[in-house]
């Protein structure tokens, strides 16, 4: 066995092949991770983005979802006048802190995953809609756009593409669009 062959075997056995494949996927191949792809779809990856409806940051979170994060992680009481000031401070920090936006997104995905599991919505994974096989990432993206309840209602009413049960955001993107885009 040559030195080159031994080096290659050692490289592979030490996880080097996985590192090389990951590098290829990110730089040359398939692209970034699900979160990065979603960030690109929402704001072109711009942490400073704010749209006409007030959705903000790389992942375009609304005030209600930021409040959900505060309730889940900080003991925030959205009915308290005192805590109302907290959301304004948090929004300012959120917009100026990319790592906070990433943390909120990680919590958001975990929260959606928990919802999918607790409502047994994962039974739709592997089914086809409009010729697209549904994936968990597609479900997460659908919930990101239309909310957890919106996703559940969409799935439970027959997954009509651009139909009465397919909620659209203000800009005309449908839950089914995101499910298909990210599946």
Tell me: the pLDDT tens digits for 64-77? 999 899 889 877 76
Residue 48 contacts residue 63 (beta carbons within 8 Å): no
Q: Per residue in 144-178, pLDDT tens?
A: 998 999 889 888 877 766 655 555 554 678 888 88
pLDDT score at 45 = 95
**Whole-prediction pTM value?**
0.76
CA separation for the pair 6, 12 (Å, rounded)? 10
Token pair for 135: 């994936």
pLDDT score at 131 = 72
pLDDT score at 1 = 60
Query: Which strand (E) or helix (H) includes residue 128?
Result: strand 128-129
Residue 129, beta-bridge partner list: 132
Residue 141 contacts residue 182 (beta carbons within 8 Å): yes
Percent of the chain with pLDDT over 70: 71
Q: Per residue in 40-89, pLDDT tens?
A: 999 999 999 999 999 999 999 999 999 899 889 877 766 666 677 788 88
The residue whose two tokens read 């996985």 is: 18
């Amino acid at each position: 066995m040559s030195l080159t062959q031994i080096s290659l075997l050692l490289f592979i056995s030490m996880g080097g092949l996985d590192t090389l494949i990951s590098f290829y996927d990110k730089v040359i191949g398939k692209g970034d991770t699900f979160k990065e792809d979603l960030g690109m779809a929402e704001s072109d990856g711009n942490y400073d983005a704010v749209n006409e409806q007030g959705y903000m940051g790389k992942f375009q979170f609304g005030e209600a979802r930021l409040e959900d994060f505060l309730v889940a992680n900080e003991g925030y009481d959205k009915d308290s006048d005192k805590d109302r000031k907290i959301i304004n401070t948090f929004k300012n920090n959120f917009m100026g802190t990319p790592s906070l936006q990433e943390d909120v997104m990680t919590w958001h995905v975990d929260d959606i995953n928990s919802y999918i599991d607790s409502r047994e919505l994962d039974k739709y994974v592997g089914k086809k809609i409009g010729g697209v096989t549904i994936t968990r990432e597609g479900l997460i993206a659908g919930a990101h756009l239309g909310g957890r309840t919106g996703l559940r209602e969409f799935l439970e009413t027959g997954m009509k593409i651009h139909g009465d049960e397919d909620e659209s955001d203000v800009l005309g993107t449908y839950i089914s669009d995101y499910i298909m885009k990210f599946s």
